[in-house]
């Protein structure tokens, strides 16, 4: 990570005076609902705190620091997010965070896939593994990838324990003493518990400046003080790294052009070593439910792919790539699609293109930004008939394959928009609709790829590989594209696809 900042500093220093512009440095955070800051305001998440603290430090050095909190509630790190890593986080992260311990559980292969796909990004980010719980299986994955050349840093769990121990105790203080405490530690620890206990730590956990009835204020989501503590910790970490980078540049002040080439060459060599190394044994867990002789794990872990995802937040949507627009762009002004209610009320009879949609029940009404992560989807309703997408679209080719046309291996996977706590609405259909229904000898759902029927699905942790009579590989059309079609015939039923992935 020292070398990452050194390269940014050199990039700025070696520009001609007429071309001077701040070098962007992107910290992208992936994680679950606690990482996203659920229960808090969006600008209280630790990524937002980090950005707020670091920007004024780095601006005088010519670095424009950006923190992207793209964590998603109730979502593990794979396979969907890992396979969609460029579409979600963008092509340009310098640091990519894994903070998904609570949702990954013991599936270390999901974390391994996430870290591997991160290494394929054009920016070759450093991956930062936070709150991993020091689980031996996770640590083994990190050691394996580090040995193969991946730049991975992991948080020392002892630091978190030490910080929690250092928080002053509120129990035993009178009200005047409590009021005199600094706001970031006031009623932070009570009875030895963080954000819980008496006197008043549970009540002080959440910021009450607005929208006090907001969702997700639960025991397992940390409050704003915890996020402030974590954000400041990572800001100090970044500051230390930048200091080391400046020391490196000072030691080679007469050799900056050569130093830049050395650092770039080292980065490229490590990345190449990772791409050529044998896959560790634990990677086989990713598809171990049944033998999949024609699915090459090396393709899934280390070969180019395309992900057409409706999930938010995601750069593919913020930049208008998904919907091929240049006007509805930005973090708050992207094309939101249709509400599910409107889309069902108005069947898509004039067009066969799958419609982008969202569940209005997911959105919270507040004049402050509360959350940005939503499980949006492409809707196919019974009344729509056949609906389709042709992938990649022109903007995707331009964004993700700028120099050479994409050459896909031919695997196609779909991911269904899953329901919170498995509480799906009536008529919301998933993979089971592709098999025979309870009162029929035929399936109520059908899919095709370039006119060839999908005959079966291979379940993959919330996603499904599409199969034909010959296996899992599909041929592109003469333009190198895949037209994916779907329909469902059961009355009032519908599919909600969150992502389409092609390798």
How big is the chain, counted in residues? Answer: 503
Instruction: Give me the pLDDT at residue 44, please.
Output: 98
Helices assigned H by DSSP within 188-255: 224-251
CA distance 303 to 281: 18
Mean pLDDT, residues 302-318? 98
Mean pLDDT, residues 247-264? 98
Consecutive H or E run containing 128: strand 126-129
User: Is the preceding omega at residue 259 within 30 degrees of 0, hence cis?
Assistant: no
**Do the strands 355-358 and 456-460 form a parallel or antiparallel pair, or are they unpaired?**
unpaired
Classify 306 as helix, strand or coil: strand
Residue 322 · residue 308 · CB < 8 Å: yes
pLDDT at 108 over 50: yes
Mean pLDDT, residues 171-194? 97
Q: Which long-range contacts (CB under 8 A, 24 or more apart) does 356-359 make?
A: 356/310, 356/322, 356/323, 357/496
Q: Give the DSSP letter string of 357-426.
A: EE-GGG----SS-----B--EEEEEGGG-SEEEEES-HHHHHHH-SSS------BEEEEE-PPGGG-PPT
Residue 442: pLDDT band with limits 50, 70, 90:
low
Residue 287 · residue 107 · CB < 8 Å: no
Residue 494: pLDDT band with limits 50, 70, 90:
very high
Place of tokens 């044994």: 281
Instruction: Give me the pLDDT at residue 490, please.
Output: 96
CA distance 32 to 179: 33
Helix 2-13 with 224-251: angle, nearest 10 deg: 60
> Among 128-132, 140-144, 276-280, 437-441, where is mean pLDDT lowest?
437-441
CA distance 88 to 83: 10
Residue 435: pLDDT band with limits 50, 70, 90:
confident
CA distance 188 to 500: 44
CA distance 418 to 74: 9
Instruction: Give me the pLDDT at residue 377, please.
Output: 99
Q: Could you give all domains of the chain from N- to C-terminal order, each with its CATH number?
A: 1-7+25-155+223-285 (3.40.50), 164-203 (no CATH), 297-502 (no CATH)
Helix 224-251 with 256-276: angle, nearest 10 deg: 120
- Measure the CA angle with vertex 154, ends 148 and 155; round to 5°: 175
Per-residue CA distances from 198 to 98, 178, 204, 218 (Å): 33, 12, 10, 17
- Measure the CA angle with vertex 316, ends 408 and 38; round to 5°: 125
CA distance 264 to 257: 11
Mean pLDDT, residues 128-148? 94
Nearest to 309 by CA among 362, 373, 376: 376
Residue 292: pLDDT band with limits 50, 70, 90:
low
- Count the Cβ atoms, other than its own, within 10 Å of residue 172: 9
CA distance 15 to 454: 53
pLDDT at 437 over 60: no
pLDDT at 317 over 60: yes
Instruction: Give me the pLDDT at residue 76, please.
Output: 97
Instruction: Give me the pLDDT at residue 291, please.
Output: 57
Portion of the chain with pLDDT greater than 70, in percent: 97
Instruction: Give me the pLDDT at residue 20, please.
Output: 72
Residue 290: pLDDT band with limits 50, 70, 90:
low
- Count the Cβ atoms, other than its own, within 10 Å of residue 361: 11
Nearest to 418 by CA among 462, 368, 378: 462
- Count the Cβ atoms, other than its own, within 10 Å of residue 425: 11
Residue 372 · residue 313 · CB < 8 Å: yes
Six token digits for residue 26: 């992107």
Q: What is the DSSP letter of 287?
A: G
Place of tokens 């409050």: 223
Give tens-digit pLDDT for 331-385.
989 999 999 999 999 999 889 999 999 999 999 999 999 999 999 999 999 999 9
Instruction: Give me the pLDDT at residue 136, please.
Output: 92
**Do the strands 338-339 and 355-358 form a parallel or antiparallel pair, or are they unpaired?**
parallel
- Count the Cβ atoms, other than its own, within 10 Å of residue 390: 14
Instruction: Give me the pLDDT at residue 21, please.
Output: 83
Six token digits for residue 196: 């819980």
pLDDT, the chain, mean: 95
């Amino acid at each position: 990570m020292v070398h990452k900042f050194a390269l940014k500093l050199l990039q700025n220093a070696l520009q001609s005076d007429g071309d001077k512009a701040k070098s962007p440095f992107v910290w992208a955070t992936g994680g679950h609902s606690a990482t996203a800051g659920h229960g808090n305001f969006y600008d209280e998440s630790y990524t937002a705190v980090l950005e707020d603290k670091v920007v004024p430090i780095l601006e005088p050095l010519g670095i424009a620091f950006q923190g992207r909190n793209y964590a998603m509630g109730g979502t593990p790190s794979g396979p969907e997010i890992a396979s969609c890593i460029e579409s979600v986080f963008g092509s340009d992260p310098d640091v990519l965070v894994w903070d998904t311990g609570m949702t990954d559980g013991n599936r270390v292969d999901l974390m391994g896939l996430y870290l591997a796909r991160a290494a394929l990004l054009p920016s070759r980010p450093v991956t930062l593994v936070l709150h991993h719980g020091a689980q031996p299986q996770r640590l083994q994955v990190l050691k394996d990838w580090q040995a193969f050349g991946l730049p991975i840093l992991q948080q020392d769990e002892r630091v978190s324990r030490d910080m929690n121990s250092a928080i002053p105790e509120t129990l035993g203080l009178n009200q005047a003493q409590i009021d005199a405490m600094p706001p970031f530690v006031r009623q932070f620890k009570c009875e030895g518990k963080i954000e819980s206990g008496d006197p008043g730590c549970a009540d002080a956990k959440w910021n009450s400046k607005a929208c006090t009835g907001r969702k997700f204020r639960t025991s397992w989501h940390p409050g704003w003080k915890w996020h402030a503590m974590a954000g400041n910790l990572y800001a100090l970490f970044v500051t230390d790294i930048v200091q080391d980078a400046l020391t490196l540049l000072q030691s080679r002040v007469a050799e900056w052009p050569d130093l830049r080439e050395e650092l770039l060459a080292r980065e490229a060599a490590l990345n190449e070593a990772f791409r050529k190394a044998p896959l560790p044994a634990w990677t086989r867990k990713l598809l171990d439910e049944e033998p999949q002789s024609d699915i090459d794990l090396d393709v899934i872990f280390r070969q180019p792919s395309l992900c057409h995802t409706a999930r938010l937040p995601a750069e593919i949507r913020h930049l208008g790539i998904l919907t091929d627009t240049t006007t509805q762009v930005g973090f708050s002004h992207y094309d939101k699609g249709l509400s599910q209610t409107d889309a069902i009320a108005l069947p898509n009879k004039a067009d066969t293109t799958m419609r982008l949609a969202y569940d209005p029940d997911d959105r919270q009404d507040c004049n402050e930004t509360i959350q940005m992560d939503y499980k949006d989807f492409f809707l196919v309703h019974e009344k729509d008939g056949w609906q389709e997408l042709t992938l990649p679209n022109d903007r995707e080719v331009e964004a993700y394959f700028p120099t050479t046309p994409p050459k896909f291996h031919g695997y196609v996977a779909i991911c269904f928009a899953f329901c919170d706590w498995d509480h799906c609405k009536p008529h919301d259909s998933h993979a089971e609709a592709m098999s025979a229904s309870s009162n029929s000898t035929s399936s109520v759902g059908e899919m095709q790829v370039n006119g060839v029927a999908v005959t079966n699905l291979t379940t993959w942790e919330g996603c499904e590989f599409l199969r034909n009579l010959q296996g899992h590989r599909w041929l592109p059309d003469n333009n190198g594209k895949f037209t994916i079609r779907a329909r469902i015939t059961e009355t009032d039923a519908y599919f909600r696809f969150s992502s389409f992935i092609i390798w």
